[in-house]
Amino acid sequence: AQERTLSIIKPDAVAKNVIGEIYTRFEKAGLKIVAARMAQLSREEAEGFYAVHRERPFFKALVDFMVSGPVMIQVLEGENAIAKNRELMGATNPKDAAPGTIRADFAESIDANAVHGSDGPDTAKTEIEYFFGR
């Protein structure tokens, strides 16, 4: 089905100057960038976005990292966009990410892992609303 998903290019990948290379991967896979905005997230925004992880041991490190520099936030649209984006990203931990995926090619660690992508239809809806709701 035609879907929309939320994607974030994280501070590590923005600092590496690979926004364009990552956008090219989305576009070559048939995903259309239908909204985009660069932002320096505040702690409140980052904590709110990752609220489901609030009790996890890595929460503070995750928020510290997400506010460490600008991020590029986009909505991707296309056939099976949610799964397709997750395929392009590769596993959360770049050590486990398949060769040729964004995380295998651009990420250094499970914290600095280059990109975020919604993990299902419900989170996609919530996450798109969170950043592009008004």
CB contact at 8 A, 82 and 126: no
The answer to the question of whether 113 is labelled as a binding residue is yes
CA distance 130 to 84: 21
Q: Which residues contact 98 (CB under 8 A, 6 or more apart)?
A: 90, 91, 104
Residues 13-42 that bind ligand CMP (CB under 6 A): none
Q: Judged by CB under 6 A, which stretch of 19-27, 72-80, 110-118, 126-134 contacts ligand CMP?
A: 110-118
Choose the binding region for ligand CMP from 22-30, 37-45, 78-86, 109-117 (rule: CB under 6 A): 109-117
Question: Does residue 116 have an active-site annotation?
Answer: yes
Per-residue contact flags (x/-) with ligand CMP for residues 53 to 82, judged by CB under 6 A: x----x---x--------------------
Region from 14-22, 33-41, 74-82, 106-114 binding ligand CMP, contact rule CB under 6 A = 106-114
Separation of alpha carbons 65 and 82, rounded Å = 24
Q: How far is the CA of 103 from the CAs of 47, 55, 62, 83, in angstroms? A: 23, 25, 16, 15
Told to check if 103 binds ligand CMP by CB under 6 A, we report no
Show binding-site residues: 10, 58, 86, 92, 103, 113
